[in-house]
Structure 1
Amino acid sequence: MNEAVLRRPVGSISIMAEQLRQIIKAMELPNVTIQLLPFSAGLHAGAMAGDFSILDFDQEGRGKEVEPPVTYLESATGAIYLDKAYETSAYNTIWADLSKRARTEPQSKTMIEEIAEEYSRA
């Protein structure tokens, strides 16, 4: 999650504080991972790539892919599904870079708590 989405208020200050508290609650769930990409990470390939999701599918019993990975891009006018290996590979490289630059989960939680507190004091 980019730090900008936490710093750009949507609704009132109290709504932002509550939204961040809900994110913190979600981080306690075993199937949720949230890592914050701070402004200090600098310019990164993800900034140029825009929003994307990499969809990986289960493998059948013998370890064979049921479906190949797909990269999903959403825009104002529609969506694009990239299914060529070189396309998905490019987005996997971007994802790896983002993951390296992001804060750990505990660091992210602390930072989100600090930003929520800033909204609460405003």
Structure 2
Amino acid sequence: MPTEQIERRIEWLIRRQRRLEDPSLTVEVLLSEAVLREEVGGPAVLAEQLHRLAEVGALPNVSIRVVPFNARNHLGVLVGSCFLMEFPPLPQSKLVEPPIVYVEGYAGDLYLEREEEVGHYRTALAEIGRVALDESESRRKILAIAKEYRT
């Protein structure tokens, strides 16, 4: 990747992390245990990232839940990486923007807005949430995996 593109992505990541400090933003994350074991940058880097994830998950407006390897009958593998974005009412008009599903793909990204498509993802996310650990168990799992990778 060209340096300029890498720097732009880093800038976006920093902006997204700063948004987590806004208490009006609510973030609910469902992560596969496989993601927690994806060793990019080596074991020390992974351990540090997992500690940061546990720290962010402790924020009052952030919920992080892990789908363990042994979870049965869920759609996580089929659904892949996606974001369901729902918006608060606009300040002046009180109108609410419709929800959008953002799907990350290898060859490109999709923004889905049709009610039926959003409904499919909403159902899938509820199904994945059904098999995910609760927030406390997820935090313990994240920190236990971080301990495995500590050098």
Same fold (TM over 0.5): yes
**Following TM superposition, by how much is the alpha carbon of 1:60 offset from its aligned partner in structure 2, in angstroms?**
5.0
Worse-superposed segment, 15-24 or 88-97: 15-24
* Separation in 1, partners of 2:41, 2:90: 45
* Separation in 1, partners of 2:66, 2:139: 8
2:96 to 46, 62, 66: 66
> What CA deviation, in whole Å up to 9, does each residue of 1:12-61 have, x standing for no partner?
21111111111111122112111111001135212112211111122357
2:86 to 52, 56, 59: 56
2:105 pairs with 1:75: yes
Unaligned ranges ≥5, structure 2 = 1-30
TM-score by length of 2: 0.71
2:75 to 27, 45, 70: 45
Q: Write out aligned runs for 1:78-97 (5 A).
A: 78-97=108-127
> What CA deviation, in whole Å up to 9, does each residue of 1:52-99 have, x standing for no partner?
1111122357xx752211111122333222111111111000000111
Residue type matched to 2:57 in 1? M
Helix, strand or coil at the partner of 1:34: strand
Q: What is the aligned-residue identity percentage?
A: 38
Alignment coverage as a number of residue pairs: 121
2:82 pairs with 1:30: no
**Structure with more relative contact order (C-alpha pairs < 8 Å, separation 6 or more):** 1
Q: For residue 129 of structure 2, what is the aligned residue in structure 1?
A: 99
Helix, strand or coil at the partner of 1:36: strand
2:39 pairs with 1:9: yes
* Separation in 1, partners of 2:139, 2:98: 33
* Separation in 2, partners of 1:94, 1:14: 34
2:50 to 20, 27, 45: 20
Structure 1 runs (4+) deviating above 6 angstroms are none
Tell me if structure 2 keeps the 8 A contact 1:57–1:65.
Answer: no
- After superposition, the Cα gap between the structure-2 partners of 1:12 and 1:69, relative to the gap in structure 1 and judged at 3 Å, is same
